[in-house]
Amino acid sequence: MNNRDHLRITDAYSTVHKLSDGTMAHLRLLHPDDGDWLLAGFAKLGDESRYRRFFTAMPRLPDGILRRLLNVDGWNHLAIAAEAAVEPPTVPEPLGIARFVRLEENAATAEAAVAVVDHMHGRGLGKLLLSLLAAAARERGVKHFRAEVLHSNDAMKALLRGLDRSLEPLAVDAGTAIYDIALPEIAAHETVSGPLRHFLKTAARGIELRLRQLREGK
């Protein structure tokens, strides 16, 4: 049952957070009419960031993927956008985004991904976005994030081994491995701690996770 009465991170969610370098970031939910915003953010990703996020250094965001990225409902598919905090009529600059997509076959598990524009790496934005994403997911009944990582991503593989030596991939193909990571109970004003924090913090530093469902058009 979709009981949304208890949600704190809703369509009306809006907050400003001061990052470690003093940048003021406005955080809100992504909306279906944010196509121009997404395209502007994609343009700020370097080739390496695009490859790690989409597993291909695509020069432009295809229309089909853009439509799927905008197909958010705030429950099964939710995205938290970060942008420079500015006063209208100035157009906010996209800084980063984190999203989850719930699995149809397992309502307690969702694929998760984060992308932070290159010049904002190392300022705490990725950690902030992922902490909020975890809080939003937990209050919607999601208990695990499913992450797909490249076999060539040695930093992520080493981190996974350090977090939990018993953690084994659910599936392995020619170039990637898929893992399920348990989510702790976390409030919207808190930050992720423990092993998940380190995992997500590494992901936020540019070792991004990919959403298989969006790539495959499910």
Comparing 73-77, 80-84, 174-178, 207-211, which segment has the lowest mean pLDDT? 207-211
- Residue 13 binned pLDDT confidence (cut-offs 50, 70, 90): very high
- Residue 54 binned pLDDT confidence (cut-offs 50, 70, 90): low
The pLDDT value recorded for residue 200 is 57
Q: CATH says 14-216 is which class?
A: alpha beta
Confirm whether pTM is higher than 0.95: no
Average pLDDT over residues 47-70: 76
Q: Domains of the chain: which residue ranges?
A: 14-216
The three state secondary structure string of the chain is CCCCCCCCCCCCCEEEEECCCCCEEEEEECCCCCHHHHHHHHHCCCHHHHHHHHCCCCCCCCHHHHHHHHCCCCCCEEEEEEEECCCCCCCCCEEEEEEEEEECCEEEEEEEEEEECHHHCCCCHHHHHHHHHHHHHHCCCCCEEEEEEECCCHHHHHHHHHHCCCCCCCEECCCEEEEEEECCCCCCCCCCCHHHHHHHHHHHCCCCCCCHHHHHCC
